[in-house]
Amino acid sequence: MATTNDLKNGIVLNIDGQLWSVVEFQHVKPGKGGAFVRTKLKSVLSGKVVDRTFNAGTKVETANVDKRDMQYLYKDGSDFVFMDTKTYDQLPVPEATVGDAASYLLENMEAVVATHDGSPLYIELPASVVLEITYTEPGLQGDRSTGGTKPATVETGATIQVPLFVETGTKVKVDTRSGDYLGRVND
């Protein structure tokens, strides 16, 4: 248990049996009446964001969320198998939990896996990853100076938008949060 005074960004609360991560919080002391805490909470499982206000000093139940560095090993049916890099324990994570992160997940890649009471909640990838383009239409002569983009398929099977001059076989840096092209990577 904690009080609203202990709230900070990233802390996970257990409200009515659901897990909510604190995205933003603000202590408010109006001139008249009691102080309160205005929060923006994100559902750990669905990703839904809600605003919630608590009276100052109210007790809130915190959830014990364990974040560990893990290495992605392989896909087994609909599960992604991760290995704890310290204990070598393997943890199957359902496809629904991995979600959009699957588009940027390569074997042997490091990721942070958050668990609550042994069940996986979500996966945090590094901010950017380097992926090789497996297919894109060839660029035309003269395309190098225009600001246009074209679709390209990367080695994980995801499709991203890249500048017209990027060719098949090029390694590119991709933002894992938005899927944006960040630049070419030279070996």
**What does the pLDDT read at residue 142?**
58
Please, what is the end-to-end C-alpha distance for the chain in angstroms? 50
DSSP 3-state of 59: strand
Q: How many domains does the chain have?
A: 3
pTM of this structure? 0.69
Looking at the fold, whether 40 and 76 belong to one and the same domain comes out as no
The token duo for 108 is 């042997």
147 or 51, which is more confident: 51
Query: In this structure, are residues 167 and 92 in contact, taking their beta carbons and an 8 Å threshold?
Result: no
d(CA 49, CA 40) in angstroms, rounded, equals 7
pLDDT digits (tens, 9 = 90+) for 75-100: 888 899 999 988 888 999 888 888 88
DSSP 3-state of 97: helix
pLDDT digits (tens, 9 = 90+) for 100-152: 888 888 889 899 888 888 788 888 888 888 989 898 888 665 555 566 788 89
The token duo for 148 is 């246009």
Q: Which of 38, 60, 82 marks a domain boundary?
A: 60
Q: Which residues pair with 119 in a beta bridge?
A: 116
Looking at the fold, whether 138 and 157 belong to one and the same domain comes out as yes
What's the whole-number mean pLDDT along residues 161-170? 86
d(CA 35, CA 158) in angstroms, rounded, equals 48
Looking at the fold, whether 136 and 170 belong to one and the same domain comes out as yes
CATH of the domain at 34: 2.30.30.30
**What does the pLDDT read at residue 141?**
59
SS3 content of the chain, % helix, strand, coil (to 5): 5, 55, 40
Looking at the fold, whether 120 and 69 belong to one and the same domain comes out as yes
Listed residue (169, 173, 168) closest to 184, CA to CA? 173
pLDDT confidence of 19, banded at 50, 70, 90?
confident
Report, in angstroms and rounded to the nearest whole number, the Rg of the chain calculated over CA atoms: 21
d(CA 136, CA 154) in angstroms, rounded, equals 9
Across all residues in the chain, what is the average pLDDT? 85
Percentage of the chain modeled with pLDDT above 90:
11
Nearby residues of 90 by Cβ (< 8 Å), 6 or more positions away: 73, 81, 82, 83, 84
pLDDT at 15 over 70: yes
pLDDT at 73 over 90: yes
pLDDT at 165 over 70: yes
**Quick one: DSSP state of residue 139?**
P
Q: Which domain does 8 fall in, by range?
A: 2-60
CATH of the domain at 73: 2.40.50.140
Looking at the fold, whether 142 and 172 belong to one and the same domain comes out as yes
